[in-house]
Amino acid sequence: MAQINVADTIIAIRKTRDDEKHLPIIDNTRLTAVNTCPRWAGVRYGHNKIMGSGTSRALALEVGTALHHSFGAIRLHQLARNGYVDHAMHHARRLFPRDGAYEEVRSIINTARSTNEGDLTALRELGLFGIEYSRYEDDEKDKKRTRVNMEEAIIKYANRYNLSNRIWVSKQDKPEATVGIEIPFDVIIDIRARPGVSFPNYTTSPLGDEGKQIRFVGRLDGLVFDSGDNLLLEENKTTAQINATWITQWEMSHQLTGYIVVARQFAMLSCEAAEVIGLAIPQPKTSPYDGLVRVPATRSASRVNQWLQWFVNSVLDFEDATAAPLEAATFTHSCTRYFRECSMLPLCASDREEQEDIFNNQMTIQEWNPLSEDVAE
Ligand code: SF4
């Protein structure tokens, strides 16, 4: 495993230039995967290969994607309510381009502005619109991830939506400029050794002579100012169940830390806090935990350093696993993670010669890109 100490490096972050768009992408999913099992990460995300035909549905992902349409539509109403009506109209088209669907979003927002129907009607309609826009269809084998359950959940989300926050806007007089709603990010994290530093565990520097440029991509769900005028990252998460463990995971989450670092770069403002908005599908009938929670999280400078340490070393591990996926370490404690068998088990349990054949001839290509319109992590 990689052993770079970030204290020995100088790190800068900037937007990816056009001439750098050929660089392979790194995202939080890839880095989490390599720490779960390097073999898994190298095959699944380094080479974009899955076992089987790739026709089975990933319903949790589909539900998350569908509801992110709802979350985005609801934030557009908030943006208009903040006084940025032209911005909201422009970004409706960015977020819902298919078949002119953005006209419906514009109409809902305008109706709310011109009548006394109020915010709640608009928020509910926009939430339901998002599910409709996703074209999500029920799977008869899954009785929980259904449209009815998603609609029930989004109505609750709309009913409790916090309209007092203000959406971050990069340019007040330019509607087409970036706003804090579903921001795709594509940045370069440039890491170089401090002058005079060498890395004792390596024969040649893993950062090269010119440093290392890592292309980090993802999507920020919401960027707002809270009631105290502090920049706040909002992350929407859908889940099957909200309990104490689910809430606690955000205390340390590297994803939140990394996204806060990116949010600072986008807004050129200080940002130290995030709020994870968890929505359970289905909503619980009885549970000590509500099916909708807002989990606050803060990130100090030392936590950012921890993330950088994890980020840089995980990238190096991911690159190693990608370069030689069948030689990558096998973390067998992960073979039955989440109480399910890892889909790569037939590959890993085969002998070496057979592995080559499975890898080269029997797997399906399925690319994961968090910037794609169809996914929401
Ligand atoms: S089966 Fe086990 S060793 Fe193989 S990729 Fe999955 S988790 Fe890793």
Q: Is residue 64 part of a domain?
A: yes
* Long-range contacts of 334-340, Cβ-Cβ distance < 8 Å, separation of 24 or more: 334/36, 334/37, 334/40, 335/37, 337/36
Does 41 share its domain with 188? yes
Predicted local distance difference test score (pLDDT) of residue 55: 66
Does 295 share its domain with 220? yes
pLDDT interval class at 375 (50, 70, 90): very low
Q: How far is 64 from 240, CA to CA, in rounded Å?
A: 11
Structure tokens at 254: 């590297």
pLDDT interval class at 374 (50, 70, 90): low
Residue owning tokens 């809430």: 247
> Would you say residue 204 has pLDDT above 50?
yes
Predicted local distance difference test score (pLDDT) of residue 54: 65
Q: Which of 232, 235, 233 is nearest to 276 (CA)?
A: 235
Q: Is residue 142 part of a domain?
A: yes
Angle at 279 between CA 167 and CA 246, to 5 degrees: 110
Does 85 share its domain with 132? yes
Average pLDDT of span 371-377: 58
Helix (H) or strand (E) holding 125: helix 119-134
Per-residue pLDDT of 276-330, as tens digits, reads 999 999 999 887 788 999 999 999 999 999 999 999 999 999 999 999 999 999 9
Q: Is residue 244 part of a domain?
A: yes
Residue 218 CA to ligand 1 center (angstroms) comes to: 25
- Give the chain's domain count: 2
> Would you say residue 377 has pLDDT above 50?
no
> Would you say residue 259 has pLDDT above 70?
yes
Cβ neighbours of residue 172 closer than 8 Å, sequence gap 6 or more? 84
Q: Which of 97, 81, 98, 80 is nearest to 89 (CA)?
A: 80
Q: Which of 364, 308, 362, 321 is nearest to 331 (CA)?
A: 321
CATH (domain of 196)? 3.90.320
Residue 42 CA to ligand 1 center (angstroms) comes to: 11
> Would you say residue 143 has pLDDT above 90?
yes
Residue 150 CA to ligand 1 center (angstroms) comes to: 32
Predicted local distance difference test score (pLDDT) of residue 155: 97
Does 307 share its domain with 283? yes
Structure tokens at 80: 């208009």
Predicted local distance difference test score (pLDDT) of residue 57: 82
Residue 349 · residue 343 · CB < 8 Å: no
> Would you say residue 372 has pLDDT above 80?
no
Does 110 share its domain with 253? no
More confident residue, 16 or 207: 16
Does 64 share its domain with 125? yes
Does 196 share its domain with 309? yes
Structure tokens at 219: 């999507």
Closest-lying ligand 1 atom to the alpha carbon of residue 38? 8
Q: pLDDT averaged over the chain?
A: 93
pLDDT interval class at 251 (50, 70, 90): very high
Any idea of the CA torsion for 94, 100, 103, 105, to the nearest 10 degrees? -60
Q: How far is 100 from 355, CA to CA, in rounded Å?
A: 48
Dihedral pair phi/psi, residue 366, rounded to 5°: -145, 105
The residue whose C-alpha atom lies closest to atom 1 belonging to ligand 1 is 345
Closest-lying ligand 1 atom to the alpha carbon of residue 40? 5
Any idea of the CA torsion for 356, 359, 360, 363, to the nearest 10 degrees? 150
Question: Counting Cβ atoms within 10 Å, is residue 248 exposed (0-12), middle (13-18) or buried (19+)?
Answer: exposed
More confident residue, 262 or 116: 262
Predicted local distance difference test score (pLDDT) of residue 376: 47
Does 279 share its domain with 204? yes
Does 108 share its domain with 36? no
pLDDT interval class at 369 (50, 70, 90): confident
The residue whose C-alpha atom lies closest to atom 5 belonging to ligand 1 is 40
Q: How far is 224 from 220, CA to CA, in rounded Å?
A: 11
Which of 131, 166, 201 terminates a domain? The answer is: 166
Residue 53 CA to ligand 1 center (angstroms) comes to: 19
Residue 89 CA to ligand 1 center (angstroms) comes to: 47
Q: Is residue 350 part of a domain?
A: no
Q: Is residue 299 part of a domain?
A: yes
Per-residue pLDDT of 210-221, as tens digits, reads 889 999 999 999
Q: Is residue 29 part of a domain?
A: yes
Closest-lying ligand 1 atom to the alpha carbon of residue 348? 4
- CB atoms under 10 Å from CB of 230, counted, come to 13
Does 298 share its domain with 152? no
Predicted local distance difference test score (pLDDT) of residue 373: 59
Residue 17 CA to ligand 1 center (angstroms) comes to: 36
Residue 44 CA to ligand 1 center (angstroms) comes to: 11
Q: Which structural domain, as residue segments, surrounds residue 106?
A: 59-166
Q: Is residue 341 part of a domain?
A: no
Which protein residues are within 6 Å of ligand 1, measured from CB?
Answer: 37, 39-40, 330-332, 334-335, 342, 344-345, 348
Which of 133, 166, 199 terminates a domain? The answer is: 166
The residue whose C-alpha atom lies closest to atom 7 belonging to ligand 1 is 335
Predicted local distance difference test score (pLDDT) of residue 172: 96
Predicted local distance difference test score (pLDDT) of residue 338: 72
More confident residue, 290 or 174: 174
Which of 125, 141, 166 terminates a domain? The answer is: 166
Does 130 share its domain with 219? no
> What is the SS3 assignment for 229?
coil
Average pLDDT of span 231-235: 98
pLDDT interval class at 1 (50, 70, 90): confident
pLDDT interval class at 337 (50, 70, 90): confident
Provide the strand spans (E) within the chain.
9-15, 25-26, 49-50, 166-167, 181-193, 212-225, 231-239, 271-280, 292-298, 364-365
- The residue type at 69: H
Closest-lying ligand 1 atom to the alpha carbon of residue 337? 7
Predicted local distance difference test score (pLDDT) of residue 209: 80
Predicted local distance difference test score (pLDDT) of residue 114: 87
Q: How far is 367 from 37, CA to CA, in rounded Å?
A: 18
Q: Is residue 357 part of a domain?
A: no
Q: Which of 67, 73, 107, 104 is nearest to 91 (CA)?
A: 73
Q: How far is 92 from 259, CA to CA, in rounded Å?
A: 23
Does 197 share its domain with 318? yes
Pocket test for ligand 1, best of 47, 336, 342, 350 (most atoms within 8 A of CB): 342
Whole-Å CA distances, 158 to 34, 76, 115, 292: 37, 13, 19, 11
pLDDT interval class at 117 (50, 70, 90): confident
